Amino acid sequence: MELTIEASPGLKSYPAEQLEERYQRTGRQAARQTYLEIFGVANRLPYSLKLLLVESWLPED
């Protein structure tokens, strides 16, 4: 992914934008499928793309 972004600087913000959009869409889809409202789940992704791409990183409980 980094090589693609380096080759096309216009794509620099695309991964973060897509991650945020997918996070929100997935939350709505999960709520519909489980017939539950999502309480206590952030509307916005609480982690940065940079952090999520660190292979050894896991969120704390």
How does pLDDT run across 29-56, given as a tens digit for each residue?
Answer: 888 888 777 665 667 788 888 888 888 9
- Condensed to tens digits (0 to 9), the pLDDT of residues 2-28 reads 666 677 878 788 888 889 899 888 888
Q: Which domain holds residue 22?
A: 2-52
Kindly report the pTM of this predicted structure. 0.63
Structural domains counted in the chain: 1
Burial 2-35 (b: 16+ CB within 10 A, else e): eeeeeeeeeeeeebeeebeeebeeeeeeeeeeee
Q: What is the 3-state secondary structure (H, E, C) of the chain?
A: CHHHHHHCHHHCCHHHHHHHHHHHHHHHHHHHHHCCCCCCCCCCCCCCHHHHCCCCCCCCC
In whole angstroms, give the CA distance from residue 32 to residue 26.
Answer: 10
Establish if 19 belongs to a structural domain: yes
- Judge whether 30 lies within some domain: yes
- Is residue 1 over pLDDT 70? no
| pLDDT higher at 58 or 38 | 58
